[in-house]
Each structure stands twice: as C-alpha cells, then as structure tokens.
Chains A and B, each alone.
Chain A
C-alpha cells in the first residue's frame, strides 16, 4: 500500500496570505490527524477528522482550519499567515493502533 502523501512538500508564503495543505491517507484509513512541528514547541496536535467530521481539536487559533472529504482525503487551511506559522506540518492516518505519518509540508512564512 502507498503511504500517506502530502502536497506540496515545500511552500513559501508571505505574512497575511493564506495557505491550503493537502493530505491523502493510506487506502482504507478513515481517520486523519494534523500536527505542527516547530523547534520550540515540538510536535503539537492540530485536529483530527474521522468520516468527514472533526473529532478533536488542539489549542490553535481559529486561523487554522481543516476538513475531510468523503474519500478520506483531508485539507488544512491557515489564513492570515504569521511568521510564527513557519513549521513542518504533518498529516497522519490511522486504522487501528499506530498512526502513520506523511513526509510533511515545510511551510516558510516570510
């Protein structure tokens, strides 16, 4: 089976812009979670989707949003980008047991 895929892999945006990141889970996985990794904060949970419904949400401002489609693919959106949003954004899918991560999208905000 193909692993979790994320697009794009790298992205450079300027402050105030918005960005949409995409994640395709492993075939058959219905749960998708998003995480942000920064040097200062480590890996922080953003949100979790299951069957197109947000099941859990981390402590991030409303500028961070997401959704899941009927084929389990997921997108996350960050509006009004700030410099501090520069990070590696990771998507993970799960069926039972462990979560399997994609390679991430490296977002740089200038």
Chain B
C-alpha cells in the first residue's frame, strides 16, 4: 500500500513560469516532510523540508506548502529554469526516526 503518492508522473513547464509538484500521504503520524531532486544514476539532492508545526517554508525559488488536514504537500518553484529539469521526490518521516518513505516521483521538464 503506497503511503506517499505523487499522482503526476510528469510535468512540463515553460521557463519563467511556476512549477507546482504535488504529494499526498496517508498517515497523520508523519511529522516531517522533504523534497528531493534527482538526476539519473545520482543520489537525491535535498531541496527543502517542512515540519508538521508549519504550513509553509520558503528557500529562494523553492516553497513548500503543507496542508495537514488534507494530508497534502506541494513544492512550488518560481521562476522555473531549464536546470530544474529532473525527477522530484517527496518524502515523509515519522518522529524519532530517520527512515524516509518516498513518493514515486514526478519528472519535471522546463522548456525555454
């Protein structure tokens, strides 16, 4: 049973526009949420995270929003750049563990 879902396997966005990647989870016990960017044959690169006590965290062009009641988080990238093209994974974590449960990933393509 998939506890973390990214329902859009791919997303195509024009350079300069906003990219919105979505993630849904099932367990309300998860208390820490992360986004990673990944290129083929490389390890995931940590982008941004948010704890369950917040509903928004911003870092430069990246903003993560958390809606606990809906068990939904999203990553906004604005403005999108061609270098942002990669696979993006959301991940969740429970209190007092480093175990991450990953979503299935969304392939983002930013075109000029």
Q: Which A residues are within 8 Å of any B CB, using their own CB?
A: 4, 31, 33, 35, 42-45, 48, 50, 55-56, 58, 88, 90, 92, 94, 97-104, 106
Contact = CB atoms under 8 A, between A and B. Distances in A.
Contacts of B41: 88, 104, 106
Contacts, number: 59
A55 B96 CA distance: 10
A89 to B, nearest CB: 10
B6 to A, nearest CB: 10
A77 to B, nearest CB: 20
Interface string B19-58: 0000000000000101010000111111001000000000
B102 A50 contact: no
Interface string B90-102: 0100000111111
B98 A90 contact: no
Contacts of B63: none
Nearest to B51: A97
B104 A42 contact: yes
Contact of A101 (B32, B44, B104): B44
A94 B105 CA distance: 22
A39 B100 CA distance: 18
A48 B43 contact: no
Contacts of B88: none
Contact of A100 (B42, B46, B102, B103): B46
Contacts of B42: 103-104
